[in-house]
Structure 1
């Protein structure tokens, strides 16, 4: 969803409803074989009715005469999504119950109590509290086990993340009373916590990854992303950054304006960043201003097959202006712009109203003519064709060829192709490793180890100290294998041999995450990341 202005929902919904009526009427006409009887609620053939009235009559007829009991409202809401998804893969309907959750990542905040939790052994366990947030102020601690929320028991086999979130989240200023079990305490402790706005951060990590090279990992583009980026970049500049890596891997996009504002930091005045146009939307160009602070800073942008939308706008602006190097694998290929239209009942639709084009004039939207399922699984098709392993597997027709100002060839029609291709790293990957990830064993073991070895881990003064000195040795590995076995993830000796180095890195990274949050996680993971290693090598030349 792109950050576009809202407009009257009726102007968009009316033609959609009319199309729905025509399609459903034709479809029903092919199915009804019973001789037509005169309806007491249908108008005569001579009477003319509007599409909207016809829809109401249709739903009323189904409700009155259909063989089984139906819910008219549910049927209507389902029809919205069916219609919208028949247009393109990125137009869809948001029911009232899902509206807040759908918009929170783009707004950059939600309303709740400010904890990170995991369900471990059927118990909601507090992993950490957000600094300065409601739970920290109330006195919740890492390791606390939440068993009650407003007199509702939240433990046992049936507990899910969704159920917990529903109980803990709520309007700002409202209270939730929770009961927790704490180590060394025999009785249940009770806390009344006043909900507040909780930030959702867009930047996972920012640190000096090598001498003079700063690294910023952006996980999404929200309304607050640009300001987070400015703060992170300024901090790195003060630490001696002379070159920058922006990591957009697995960033699915978000607010278009955030990507435009970040691109503006690197481009000279009047340089094209992106432009949009649609059937009912005039061409709108977004040009760089003079406010950018990093016009001359050497830059590398990392992308992969899950980098989409706003990520591709930023990568495309850098690539098409010959402003930096793009490293990784071909991006997702989403070149459509959505506007959100909100209804009085707190529902909404996100409707594709335009396509966006990179400065060289390319639209990077991949085809979606073969249906929604094929579109969603297109990255698997890339893997089957070998594209994630070899650049030679990627073929573009000459009709999709474009040129940058310096004459570099770039392509449209299906994502951003990097300047430097880095294949997916499969060395050491086994079914055992896949099952460890799928069952969240690394996360749970890291928390178990952290709770068990708090005194030992407290010896490390900072993250760099931890990275240099902490080792995942054989006793730690044996403890990990035993823990995984208890969670139902079994191993073979050959799998351990193949995956050992990755397992050691993942254990260390997740322990670092619990101690230093996302920056701890990525700074350890990146030590064994071949794309990061290749990028640092290129920037160091």
Structure 2
């Protein structure tokens, strides 16, 4: 490799970009190994680490892009933007005298202008509803926290609900804080929502699993050709070792999510509800390179306490496309849909050779990729139509929400001073739906009455949830949307009946 690089550098007829050549060579080599050994340049490393480290440096606003304009949903509490008086509903139209509205600038370019080192200053031009002239603010950038928890609330009088979106540096701390708050409100049982959670730090997964397991119970172990077996045990210091526990997973729950779920299932600590998880069980070791770039090299595999390998099958070095990507591996979820796995538990079959037994109740569980739930919940396709897909993909539902909020924020907050009142009394009116349909027409989305009526309950739920999020926060969004989430509703039914005990005792998958 070094000899080839030396020859090209010193003998090749034209001048070449050596760094680019080396990068491409590394990428091609890693593509011969497995789907998760990857190379990231210095800029990619920084972006990749921000959500897991738990903070970034910027102005501190939640925002959406609406018609080429940055629309502030909420300023971060006690963050730099809130401190200078920027409000929900403001539109940021210029950064340091450079227009960012109406100029077709990418979201990434806008974010790069708003973010910057702590204590650096940025000048923002704001358009505010009801104010004729633009407003000017000087914001001093600061560290902005990124939270792992999307929602935490009492979903029923004795049942708490916590949703985690990733496993980062602050996940265990956030979870423990929310857990104690819910316990003060009388929580006895818990629904832990890991749907769509793509993973993160191993230590965060271990710390979370520790909340549920007894001392010296194995959480996960790793093993590889040149990596000795490493075992990770619960300390027994968790705050929810008793009480019913349901874990929600789906086909996008991966890695750290699967470690937690597998440990809970293998120790018969709780019931897993949903669909088979993604199946990402390869351990990557980060290798930092001198220029700030990084190789993440697979060195071992994750195994659950019962000895199940979490990783789904792949063919090492298999190249099925020009860029060397693992096409069949990446299309696994499509294959699951086509094979009927997403809609029928009867379509899922595991050979007896992959059979394992749980640690306490000796229930049958299977290896072979991902965590198979104890209670299967199919994808609900009844309300999804092409019309709904189009209005969602083109941002029509989101834009309808933004426009409604912009015109009615003050009156809504005055009328619904508490979320509970909003949840009970607010309904999506025909005027809002008419506005949405007209917006869809402008986006050249063909209206289909039958499909519209079929998707209407879903559309109304999404609109109401998004309005709640913009008036309050993500917890309120999930308090609305969970009312139509099949897995959440099934979990509540299991907890309120004898099914929970029956699933654990019988070992049968339902």
What is aligned with 1:523? Answer: 479
**1:161 CA drift (Å):** 0.7
Length, aligned pairs only: 487
Alpha-carbon distance in structure 1 between the residues aligned to 2:495 and 2:290? 52
**1:392 CA drift (Å):** 1.1
Alignment partner of 2:339 out of 385, 399, 408? 385
Gap change, CA 1:60 and 1:297, over 3 Å in 2: farther
**1:358 CA drift (Å):** 0.2
State the TM-score, normalized to the length of structure 1.
Answer: 0.88
Contact in 2 for aligned 1:266/1:297 (Cα 8 Å): no
What is aligned with 1:53? Answer: 3
What is aligned with 1:513? Answer: 469
Alignment partner of 1:65 out of 13, 18, 22? 13
Alpha-carbon distance in structure 2 between the residues aligned to 1:411 and 1:248? 20
Counterparts of residues 407-426 of structure 1 (less than 5 Å): 407-426=362-381
Counterparts of residues 89-104 of structure 1 (less than 5 Å): 89-104=35-50
Alpha-carbon distance in structure 2 between the residues aligned to 1:524 and 1:240? 21
Contact in 2 for aligned 1:206/1:519 (Cα 8 Å): yes
Alpha-carbon distance in structure 2 between the residues aligned to 1:104 and 1:488? 37
Deviation per CA, 1:25-53, whole angstroms, max 9, x where unpaired?
A: xxxxxxxxxxxxxxxxxxxxxxxxxxx23
Alpha-carbon distance in structure 1 between the residues aligned to 2:80 and 2:31? 40
Alpha-carbon distance in structure 2 between the residues aligned to 1:501 and 1:157? 36
Alignment partner of 1:374 out of 328, 335, 339? 328
Alpha-carbon distance in structure 1 between the residues aligned to 2:160 and 2:116? 38
Contact in 2 for aligned 1:332/1:415 (Cα 8 Å): yes
Deviation per CA, 1:202-239, whole angstroms, max 9, x where unpaired?
A: 10001111121100000000010000000111111111
Contact in 1 for aligned 2:400/2:432 (Cα 8 Å): no
Computing the radius of gyration from Cα coordinates, the structure with the larger value is: 1
Alpha-carbon distance in structure 1 between the residues aligned to 2:236 and 2:312? 33
**1:59 CA drift (Å):** 5.1
Alignment partner of 1:80 out of 12, 16, 26? 26
Alignment partner of 1:228 out of 154, 174, 178? 174
What is aligned with 1:495? Answer: 451
> Is the counterpart of residue 466 in structure 1 residue 411 in structure 2?
no
What is aligned with 2:383? Answer: 428
Gaps in structure 1 of 5+ consecutive residues: 1-20, 22-51
Counterparts of residues 314-393 of structure 1 (less than 5 Å): 314-369=260-315, 370-371=318-319, 372-393=326-347
How big is the alpha-carbon RMSD for the aligned residues of Structure 1 and Structure 2?
1.5
Deviates more, 1:476-485 or 1:515-524: 476-485
Contact in 2 for aligned 1:144/1:180 (Cα 8 Å): yes
Counterparts of residues 179-194 of structure 1 (less than 5 Å): 179-194=125-140
**1:60 CA drift (Å):** 4.6
Alpha-carbon distance in structure 2 between the residues aligned to 1:245 and 1:347? 39
What is aligned with 2:431? Answer: 475
State the TM-score, normalized to the length of structure 2.
Answer: 0.93
Counterparts of residues 20-169 of structure 1 (less than 5 Å): 21=1, 52-58=2-8, 60-61=10-11, 64-65=12-13, 70-169=16-115
Alpha-carbon distance in structure 2 between the residues aligned to 1:510 and 1:334? 31
Deviates more, 1:150-159 or 1:191-200: 150-159
**1:70 CA drift (Å):** 4.6
Alignment partner of 1:394 out of 320, 324, 348? 348
Gap change, CA 1:194 and 1:213, over 3 Å in 2: same
Alpha-carbon distance in structure 1 between the residues aligned to 2:156 and 2:18? 60
Counterparts of residues 437-456 of structure 1 (less than 5 Å): 437-456=392-411
What is aligned with 1:5? Answer: none
Q: Is the partner of 2:70 in helix, strand or coil? A: strand
Deviates more, 1:485-494 or 1:298-307: 485-494
Alpha-carbon distance in structure 2 between the residues aligned to 1:441 and 1:56? 55
**1:187 CA drift (Å):** 2.7
**1:88 CA drift (Å):** 1.0
Contact in 1 for aligned 2:244/2:270 (Cα 8 Å): yes
Alpha-carbon distance in structure 2 between the residues aligned to 1:130 and 1:487? 32
